[in-house]
Amino acid sequence: MALAALDLEVLRGFISVENRKGRLSSVQRYLGNRLMRDALGVELNDKGELTSDVPEEEFDIMFREFMARIASKSWNTRDDAKKIGSRSNELRALVGVSGARIERVPLSTPPKQDESIKPVPKSPKKPTKIIPNSALSEALQEIPSYKLEKNILFSMLHILEYAYAFTYSGDVVLSGESDSFDREKYKHRFLLLSQLSKVGAHGAWRIKGNQRTP
């Protein structure tokens, strides 16, 4: 019974695995006392499971206090039967303990969790890469209207986090090449041809006025 009680203590979080060490003898001493067993309502059933006929909430109140005293060593193997009997009455007198009895039930499972507590939803992870879309690239090539094609391409570029277009003297540089720029100085602002290829926009061009140059 003492070993089953120690297992239950750890399962319900009343004592840590570390504090459990060296407490078996004290638990055996106390649960060997009829008055203490009666206070907690504990017995072993035919399956060797620890059971109690005390309402679960009241059992937890007494059992938690019982284990706290055992863990602190204030209740130990040196205590005689008279003292243990007196301490069983202390458990019965705890606030929240009515002395009511119920049909005996196994104590091998932890107390039920509050079902009203729901897990906190997590924010979706930010995408780390964009898969090239060859179908989109081919569809853009088939659009007959150059103006519409240009507008769609620019709309697509604006929604990509790593894509940049840079305007200077009326030139919109898409390929990363310009005679008017210090390319090294502004390289972090250019949309490179390799970047366009990664998103499926193959065949990037430089736009000057109403003309486009591959």
| Segment 140-155, tens digit of pLDDT | 666 666 566 566 666 6
Under 8 Å between Cβ of 33 and 81? yes
The two structure tokens encoding residue 3: 């070993």
- More confident position, 169 or 105: 105
- More confident position, 172 or 93: 93
Give the global pTM: 0.45
Confidence of residue 198 (pLDDT cuts 50, 70, 90): low
Residues 6+ apart with CB under 8 A from 179: none
Residue 180: predicted pLDDT: 52
Q: How far apart are the first and last CA of the chain?
A: 85
CA neighbor of 141 nearest in space, from 152, 131, 132, 149: 149
For residue 213, the number of C-alpha atoms closer than 13 Å in the C-beta half-sphere is: 11
Confidence of residue 2 (pLDDT cuts 50, 70, 90): low
Residue 186: predicted pLDDT: 47
Residue with tokens 């130990």: 76
Burial of 19 (0-12, 13-18, 19+ CB in 10 A): middle
Is residue 172's pLDDT more than 50? Answer: no
